[in-house]
Amino acid sequence: MSDIPALEALKQALRRLPGVGPKSAQRMAFHLLERDREGARLLAQSLTNAVERVIQCRRCNNFGESELCGICSSPRRDVSLLCVVESPADLVSLDQAGVYNGMYFVLMGRLSPLDGIGPEELGLDRLEALLDQGEIKEVVLATNLTVEGEATAHYITDLVRRRNIRATRIAYGVPVGGELEYTDRSTLARALSGRREA
Amino acid sequence: MSDIPALEALKQALRRLPGVGPKSAQRMAFHLLERDREGARLLAQSLTNAVERVIQCRRCNNFGESELCGICSSPRRDVSLLCVVESPADLVSLDQAGVYNGMYFVLMGRLSPLDGIGPEELGLDRLEALLDQGEIKEVVLATNLTVEGEATAHYITDLVRRRNIRATRIAYGVPVGGELEYTDRSTLARALSGRREA
């Protein structure tokens, strides 16, 4: 099939999507060409449109279509609470839980000295400037439970406490609906060490 | 995140790809916007380009960028052999096996009366016209081993034999590297009934 450059190029481009290998890329390309050319046109437009319009909020780094994202510009959000997450996807998941009504700060990564990602690369100076404005009373750390996520949380906790602002970490433990029998050891250890009065 | 229409539209459009649900669509959208905007632009271009350029061969239905596809216009192919497959993906797989050097006819589907797909919808009149040209000496049936694929193979076998052309079916049996112990019953039944002299 090397005689069809436009098809080859499409397969290659589809492989830039996460989780898409050569077989899936071929399946997607054939599906669109055989059965959904309208979908292909729509996807092309949506990609171009999103790349042109979606920018990062200058306050929290979250995605939006204006300088301040929907959350940062909302009058119904509690500006005294700031939740720090690694990615926009984490923000979406937390916000959809529906119990948090504060602001966010999206790191767009985590501290990772081996990959050359230090405090500057994460824009922690902008986080510090935010903390210095005096509105924030509590910073909720919601980085992932990886070595790097934990290191990032510790580093930010220091920045926060140095300013006499409260720093908290979201709870880690047995997930709702999870059975103790099938829960891994580290999670159980967290659940035990994080126990509270019943 | 309903305040970002361009992002929502992109997620919806990504879901038109086969095998992509809401979570994968979000992951893909965030990946492109966070880390690979160049890839997003490239994908948009490739989609538009493929939809504009890739057409179906007027002889075999295979994809190509000109009226006759690369295989149909190749002088090195054996025009006395015609292999009938259901889809362009099947054609690619068979051709990559590297032992077949004849022509193809791509059905772009299979007979499925319940879905309103009869001989006309499959363009079998065009297959018949091809058979009537007198060049073809053998038709190799390579439809899938489903009820509909089998019915399609039987129907085409009749068309072929009526013209005194040889009709053959590719072999089904234990795959190379497969172990008898872990091979399913229907495949073993096929392997036994299709046995040949050692």
Does residue B157 form part of some domain? yes
- Residues of chain A falling short of pLDDT 50: 1
> Which chain B residue lies closest to A109 (C-alpha atoms)?
B34
Q: Give yes or no: residues A81 and A39 share one domain.
A: no
> For residue A69, is it within any domain?
no
Question: Of the candidates A3, A9, A50, which has its C-beta nearest B6's C-beta?
Answer: A50
DSSP SS3 for B87: coil
Please indicate, yes or no, whether residues A85 and A153 belong to a single structural domain of this protein. Answer: yes
Q: Which of B54, B106, B68, B96 is nearest to A7 (CA)?
A: B54
Q: Verify whether the Cβ–Cβ distance B18 to A6 is below 8 Å.
A: no
* Interface ipTM: 0.83
For residue B46, the chain A residues in CB contact (below 8 A) are 6, 9-10, 12-14
Q: Find, among A15, A52, A34, the residue nearest to B51 by Cα.
A: A34
B18 contacts in A (CB within 8 Å)?
27-28, 31
Do A13 and B39 lie within an 8 Å CB cutoff? yes
Query: Is B34 within 8 Å of A88 when comparing Cβ atoms?
Result: yes
Cα B141–Cα B133–Cα A30 angle in degrees, nearest 5: 45
Question: What are A13's two structure tokens?
Answer: 């481009």
A114 plus A151 within the same structural domain: yes
Distances (CA, A) of A129 to A72, A132, A156, A187: 16, 5, 13, 35
A147: three-class secondary structure by DSSP: helix
Quick check: is A183 in a domain? no
Q: Are residues A93 and A144 in the same domain?
A: yes
Same domain, A45 and A94: no
Q: Do residues A101 and A160 share a domain?
A: yes
**Taking residues B150-179, what's their average pLDDT?**
92
Which of B28, B32, B45, B47 is most worth mutating to test chain A (most A CB atoms within 10 A of its CB)? B47
B30 pLDDT above the threshold of 60: yes
Q: Do B63 and A17 touch (CB under 8 A)?
A: no
pLDDT digits (tens, 9 = 90+) for B129-143: 999 999 999 999 999
Summarised one tens digit per residue, pLDDT across range B1-22 is 457 999 999 999 999 999 999 9
Sole residue written with tokens 């439809």: B143
The arithmetic mean of pLDDT across residues B167-195, rounded, is 86
Same domain, A119 and A161: yes
In a domain, B69, yes or no: no
Q: A45 and A103, same structural domain?
A: no
Beta pairing class for B78-85 and B138-141: parallel
Residues A45 and A110 in one domain: no
**Average pLDDT over every residue of B83-100:** 92
Subunit contact B44:A47, Cβ cutoff 8 A? yes
Q: Are residues A49 and A120 in the same domain?
A: no
Residue A198 lies in a domain: no
To which residue do tokens 């002889």 refer?
B59
**Average pLDDT for chain B:** 92
A40·B18 Cβ contact <8 A: no
Cβ of A89 and B27 within 8 Å?
yes
Mutate to test the interface with B, among A12, A14, A16 (most CBs of B within 10 A): A16
Task: Tell me: do A107 and A24 sit in the same domain.
Answer: no
Q: Structurally, how many domains does chain A consist of?
A: 2
Alpha helices by DSSP H, listed for B36-140, are 37-53, 88-96, 124-132
Residue range of the domain that includes A36: 5-53
Residue B66 has pLDDT above 70, yes or no: yes
In a domain, B140, yes or no: yes
Contact A41 B53 (CB under 8 A): no
Whether residue B67 lies inside any domain: the answer is: no
User: Distance, in angstroms, between B6 CA and closest chain A CA?
Assistant: 5
Instruction: Please check whether residue B135 lies inside any domain of the structure.
Output: yes
CATH number of the domain bearing residue A43: 1.10.8.420
Q: Taking CB atoms and an 8 Å limit, are B16 and A36 in contact across chains?
A: yes
Pairing of strands B166-169, A166-169: unpaired
- pLDDT for position B1: 46
Contacting residues of B for A34, CB less than 8 Å apart: 87-88, 108
Residue pairs spanning A and B at CB distance below 8 A = 179
Q: Are residues A83 and A151 in the same domain?
A: yes
Domain of B164, CATH number, reads: 3.40.1360.10
Residue B181 is predicted with a pLDDT of: 84
